[in-house]
Amino acid sequence: MPVNQTWSTFSDYAYYTAVVIYVLAMVFCTAEQAFGRERRNAGRRRSRELVGAAGPPPESVDTPGISTGQPAPAGPRPVPERLGRMGIALTVLGVGTHLTSLVLRGLAAGRVPWGNMYEYVSVACVTAVIAWLVLLRRFSARHATTFLLLPIVILMFIGGTALYTTAAPVQPALQSYWLVIHVSTVAASSGMLLVPGVASVLYLIRRANVANPQRFAKLSGKLPGEDMLDRIAYRTTIFAFPVYTFAIICGAIWAEAAWGRFWGWDPKETVAFIAWVVYAAYLHSRATAGWRGTRAAAINSVGFAVTVFNLFFVNLVTTGLHSYAGVG
């Protein structure tokens, strides 16, 4: 099937537009981080000073930060909070634009849009952002959005420059229905696992600040609480791990059909299995030994590092049966 160059061009435009939107969203969320927490803390200090100087206010007066039994009058939201909400709205817009680029890419090439590393990274990134938006409906972790979008922007920049390839049909070895099943699930699960990876790294930063208040002092105060980060990492991993397991099983079945064996210790297979073992150890230690906090976050961070290593080093440096799924 010939490539539709018009749709391919518009797919590229949508991809780069999504990157710009994510950057803007990151800027707005960073602005809320920079000014929102400082303003709230200043308000609490001012309230305590008022209470200490004049005693409790009359019941008819509603002083900021002090409960009087009456609902606070509705008013305009603080500017930092509005900036944060604008950042989330831009993130949603970025996801829509990002998905549009993938749809147009698939229409242009006449196949599913995850046949090379550029497209794989794009699918993984949009899955990570969608997973984060879903989590924000349950967790008040908007202040961590900047730290989630930062690796997304970096990955998409690398994907759109160093890893970019023009839309084209996939090689004969990839022309299988297993491309739809295996690659989609491994890309989606890898994207979802980026979220607990970031959450675990942020958790370790907060713990380092607790051990030594001079380390990461400014950064730690702008992060969600340790318990929230721990729960985000755990619950996202619980959901992503079965998908990742299914992807590995599908890969083994595809390998048997294509190469006559389920497992051959190819570099990509081996590192993917190592990542699976690390995440399995993380979930097992949480469920049986009750490991939480620093030890659990460290294991999850290792799993995230192995996943990134498998994506870049194994695909681009080593040689194996998966080499045709590299940049081209």
Residue type, 293: G
User: How far apart (Å, rounded) are the C-alpha atoms in residues 312 and 225?
Assistant: 32
Q: How would you class 232 by CB atoms within 10 Å of its CB: exposed for 0-12, middle for 13-18, buried for 19 or more?
A: buried
Among residues 82, 85, 39, the alpha carbon closest in space to that of 64 is found at: 39
> Model's pTM, two decimal places?
0.85
User: How far apart (Å, rounded) are the C-alpha atoms in residues 11 and 216?
Assistant: 40
User: What CA–CA distances, in Å, run from 256 to 140, 252, 262?
Assistant: 45, 6, 5
pLDDT reading at 199 higher than 90: yes
Non-local (6+) Cβ contacts of 253 within 8 A are 178, 262
Q: In which band, very low, low, confident or very high, does the pLDDT at 323 lie, cut at 50, 70 and 90?
A: low
User: What tokens appear for 84 in the block?
Assistant: 């944060």
Q: What is the mean pLDDT of residues 172-194?
A: 91
User: How far apart (Å, rounded) are the C-alpha atoms in residues 133 and 89?
Assistant: 10
Considering the chain, what percentage of its residues have pLDDT values greater than 70?
84
pLDDT reading at 41 higher than 50: no
* Predicted pLDDT at 257: 87
Q: What is the DSSP letter of 76?
A: P
Q: Which tens digit of pLDDT belongs to each residue from 143-171?
A: 899 999 999 999 999 999 999 999 998 88
pLDDT reading at 272 higher than 70: yes
User: How far apart (Å, rounded) are the C-alpha atoms in residues 123 and 138?
Assistant: 24
Q: What is the mean pLDDT of residues 123-139?
A: 96
pLDDT reading at 195 higher than 50: yes
At residue 107's C-alpha, the angle toward residues 104 and 110, to 5°, is 145
User: What tokens appear for 102 in the block?
Assistant: 């993938």
User: How far apart (Å, rounded) are the C-alpha atoms in residues 269 and 279?
Assistant: 15
User: How far apart (Å, rounded) are the C-alpha atoms in residues 129 and 289?
Assistant: 31
H-helix segments, the chain:
5-54, 79-109, 117-136, 145-161, 177-178, 184-211, 217-220, 226-259, 267-284, 294-309, 315-316
User: How far apart (Å, rounded) are the C-alpha atoms in residues 212 and 194?
Assistant: 27
User: How far apart (Å, rounded) are the C-alpha atoms in residues 124 and 195?
Assistant: 11
Among residues 134, 109, 111, 113, the alpha carbon closest in space to that of 122 is found at: 113
User: How far apart (Å, rounded) are the C-alpha atoms in residues 88 and 105?
Assistant: 26
pLDDT reading at 71 higher than 90: no
Q: In which band, very low, low, confident or very high, does the pLDDT at 51 lie, cut at 50, 70 and 90?
A: very low
The answer to whether the CB of 90 falls within 8 A of the CB of 28 is yes
The answer to whether the CB of 187 falls within 8 A of the CB of 130 is no
* Predicted pLDDT at 258: 82
The answer to whether the CB of 102 falls within 8 A of the CB of 121 is no
The answer to whether the CB of 22 falls within 8 A of the CB of 94 is yes
User: What tokens appear for 272 in the block?
Assistant: 């993917």
Q: What is the mean pLDDT of residues 299-318?
A: 87
Q: What is the mean pLDDT of residues 241-270?
A: 90
Q: Which has the minimum average pLDDT: 44-53, 101-110, 219-228, 235-244?
A: 44-53
